[in-house]
A and B are shown apart, each in its own frame.
Chain A
C-alpha cells in the first residue's frame, strides 16, 4: 500500500464525514437554530419563549348622551362589554383602565396594552347603553403617552358635543 493510496483513503473518509455532517445539519437546520437561540437566551438569563414588552396606548374617547355619567359607571360598562365580546382572558391581557375622565365635557382616556388596542376600540363601539340610558362612545385618537393624551383631550373635535 503506497502513500498515495493512504492519502486518497483519508480524503474519501473526510469527504464522507463532511457530507454526512452537511446532510445532518440541513435536515435538522430548524432544530439547530432553535437550540442555538435557546443557548443564547440561557447565556443572557432570558426565557426561551417569546415574552414581548407591554407598551401602553392611551385611547381618547367622547360620550354622546342625554345625561352625564360617572367614572365608575363608564369603567364598569367598558369592562363588561369587553368581557362579553372578547372574554375574560383577553380582558386580563388588555387591561383597559379609565385613567382620566372629565365629567364636564364627557371625555376620557383609557389606558390599554398596545397589542389589544383594536379590541378596546371595537368594544367601545359596541356600547349603546349605560344603565338603560342611550349613549354613543366615539374613540377620537390613540396616543403613546399620557402627556400627549391630556394635551389633545380638550381640543380634539369639539364640534361633536355641540
Chain B
C-alpha cells in the first residue's frame, strides 16, 4: 500500500484521524489538535505552523523562537519582501499559494525558490475555489511553476472536518486532468515530496 501524507490539516479530531488512516495516510501535519485520543501507532502527527507575514520584519519576529525540529513551518507572504525573505530563510519549509498570496508569486519569486529549494504548497480548497477568476490566476502560476522551475508541488487538504480530507485517487486524477501531468508525478505531490520534508525534520515514517 502506498504511503500518503497530508501536510496541512487545520483541525484534527478522532473522526478525521480515523478517515485519514482508512484512506492510507500515514502521517499528517496538524495546525490545531482537537483530541488526545489518537493512538500513537495509528498515524504520525506532526505540528504545523502557518505564519502570515506582511513585512520582512514581521516574518523575522514570528520566526524567532520557532523550533526547527519536529514542526513544519509554512509561510503565507502578504508582501513581496516577505515572500522574498521566506524563499531564502532556511527555517521555512514551504510557501503557501492562495487567493491572497498569489499576487506575490512571480517569476523572480519562483527563481528564488528554485535557488533555495523551497517547494510551493497549495491546498485542495484553493484549487477548487468558487471564484473562477482567482482559480485561473492560481492555475497560471502553478503551471508556470511546474513547467519552468521543475520544483515539487505539494498538495494538502487544509481540512477542518472529516469530509474535507483528500481522497488520494481522486486528487491524483484531479491534478492529472487539471495540469496535464503524468499520474506518477501527481502521486508524488501527496506522497514523496511531503515525506522528504518530514524526513528532513527528523520524523521517521
Which of these, A64, A126, A136, contacts B128 with CB under 8 Å? A126
A10 interfacial by beta-carbon distance below 8 Å: no
We find that the number of chain A residues with CB closer than 8 angstroms to chain B is 20
B173, A137: Cβ atoms closer than 8 Å: no
A83-125 at interface with B (beta carbon < 8 Å): 85-86, 118-119, 121-122, 124-125
Please state if B169 and A125 are interface contacts (CB–CB under 8 Å).
yes
Answer whether A134 and B22 are a contact pair too, CB < 8 Å, given A118-B173, A118-B176, A125-B173: no
Which of B40-48, B91-99, B146-154, B156-164 faces chain A?
B156-164
B164 touches A128 (CB 8 A): yes
Q: Determine which of B22, B162, B165, B174 lies in contact with A122 in the assembled complex, contact meaning CB atoms within 8 Å.
A: B174
Closest to A116 in B: B177
Are B171 and A125 neighbours in the complex by a CB distance under 8 Å? yes
Query: In the complex, A135 Cα to B170 Cα: how many Å?
Result: 15
For the complex, is A160 an interface residue (Cβ under 8 Å from B)?
A: yes
Closest to B165 in A: A136
Q: How far is the CA of A118 from the CA of B163 in the complex (A)?
A: 21
Q: Could you tell me if A136 and B163 are in contact, using CB atoms closer than 8 angstroms?
A: yes
**Chain B interface residue count, Cβ-Cβ cutoff 8 angstroms:** 19
From A85, A119, A121, B169 is in contact (CB under 8 Å) with A121
A125 x B22 contact (CB < 8 A): no
Find out whether the CB atom of A136 lies under 8 angstroms from the CB atom of B177: no
Q: Which of B169, B176, B178 contacts A139 (CB 8 A)?
A: B169
Work out how many contacts link A and B, with CB atoms closer than 8 A. 51
B204 smallest CB distance to A (angstroms): 25
A64-B19, A138-B23, A160-B22 are known contacts. Are A125 and B167 too (CB-CB below 8 A)?
A: yes
By the criterion CB–CB under 8 Å, are A136 and B174 in contact? Answer: no
Residues 165 to 196 of chain B near chain A (Cβ within 8 Å): 165-167, 169-171, 173-174, 176-178
Q: Chain B residues near A86: list those with CB within 8 A.
A: 177
What chain B residues lie within 8 Å of A31 (beta carbons)? Answer: none
Option from A85, A118, A134, A137 in Cβ contact (under 8 Å) with B167: A137
> How far apart sit A64 and B166, CA to CA, in the bound complex (Å)?
13
CA distance A137 to B168 in the complex (A): 11
Is B164 a contact partner of A121 (Cβ separation < 8 A)? no
0 or 1 for each of A48-76: is its CB under 8 Å from B? (1 = yes):
00000000000000001000000000000
Say whether A5 faces chain B, with CB atoms less than 8 Å apart: no
A126–B167 Cα gap in the complex (Å)? 9
* Interface of B toward A, CB cutoff 8 Å: 19, 22-23, 128, 161-167, 169-171, 173-174, 176-178
19 contacts across the A-B interface (CB closer than 8 A) = A64-B19, A85-B128, A118-B176, A119-B173, A121-B173, A122-B176, A124-B167, A124-B170, A125-B167, A125-B169, A125-B174, A126-B128, A134-B161, A135-B163, A136-B162, A136-B165, A138-B167, A139-B169, A139-B170
